[in-house]
């Protein structure tokens, strides 16, 4: 009943947006991963140059398996680039590498949104999983025992709200990293004027995945609130 009650229709726009965003980023990456940048630099080259220029010589760069698994690990101070980015000289690879290096620069300069996101990340991770499960358990127990179990529902909503907040804090972090990436790629001469729009297309497509995640989180929260209200 929790999954297939009438309120499930609320989730449809989020699901559609998520599928569209994933398709958009795959399409943009696949298109421009086949187009080499005239500079001849690899993703690792660009990332290393950005890090060194910002005094982050201690940040390591490592290849990591997987497709679009690129990320910066603030705990170990390591930038990890996927197989299709690390050694690639494509426009897509340079854009993604510069974006991830931008996160390392954010970390090194204590960018406020990143600091806040890092601070609530553990609570958000717990809230995104435990919040939903706690709500579901309270909902199911209420059905079989004919009791309200509102405290479990409320606790689940509060926990999940932290996860929703995390998705919104993530947006400025990601947009700022992309902005930094484009500026560096242009000023550093890594991409030509004709190549920059293509890199922007890849990064903009990636940004939509975070927008979709935030929208889906909000819709899920709205659904929980409606279900909670039906128990009163």
Helical H segments across 42-195, by residue range: 43-53, 83-86, 91-108, 112-145, 150-187
What is the distance between the alpha carbons of residues 85 and 81, in angstroms, rounded to a whole number? 6
What is the distance between the alpha carbons of residues 126 and 133, in angstroms, rounded to a whole number? 10
Element at 72 (helix H, strand E) = strand 71-73
Which residues, in sequence order, are bridge partners of residue 60?
78
Check if the beta carbon of residue 88 is closer than 8 Å to that of residue 67.
Answer: no
Kindly name the residue from 62, 100, 174, 195 that is annotated as catalytic: 100
Torsion of CA 77, 54, 52, 113, to 10 degrees: 30
Which long-range contacts link 59-66 to residues 24+ away (Cβ below 8 Å)? 59/104, 59/108, 61/86, 63/87
What is the distance between the alpha carbons of residues 119 and 160, in angstroms, rounded to a whole number? 16
Q: What separation, in Å, do the N-terminal and C-terminal C-alpha atoms of the chain show?
A: 17
Tokens linked to 116: 């806040």
| Sheet architecture: strand order including 60-64 | 60-64, 78-82, 71-73
Q: Is 195 a catalytic residue?
A: no
Which residues are tagged catalytic?
100
């Amino acid at each position: 009943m929790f999954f297939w009650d009438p309120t499930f229709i609320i989730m449809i726009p989020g699901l559609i947006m998520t599928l569209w965003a994933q398709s958009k980023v795959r399409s943009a990456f696949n298109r421009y991963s086949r187009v080499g940048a005239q500079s001849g630099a690899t993703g690792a080259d660009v990332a290393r140059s950005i890090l060194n220029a910002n005094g982050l010589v201690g940040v390591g760069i490592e290849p990591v398996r997987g497709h679009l698994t690129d990320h910066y690990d603030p705990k170990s101070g390591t930038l990890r680039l996927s197989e299709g980015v690390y050694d690639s000289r494509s426009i897509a690879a340079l854009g993604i590498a510069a974006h991830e290096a931008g996160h390392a620069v954010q970390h090194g300069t204590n960018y406020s949104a990143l600091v806040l996101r890092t601070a609530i990340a553990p609570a958000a991770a717990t809230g995104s999983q435990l919040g939903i499960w706690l709500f579901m358990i309270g909902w199911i127990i209420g059905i079989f025992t004919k009791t309200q179990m509102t405290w479990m529902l409320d606790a689940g909503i509060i926990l999940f709200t932290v996860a929703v907040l995390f998705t919104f804090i993530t947006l400025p972090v990601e947009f700022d990293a992309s902005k930094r990436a484009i500026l560096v790629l242009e000023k550093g001469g890594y991409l030509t004027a004709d190549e920059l729009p293509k890199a922007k297309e890849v990064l903009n497509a990636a940004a939509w995945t975070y927008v979709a995640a935030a929208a889906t989180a909000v819709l899920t929260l709205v659904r929980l609130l409606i279900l909670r209200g039906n128990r009163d």
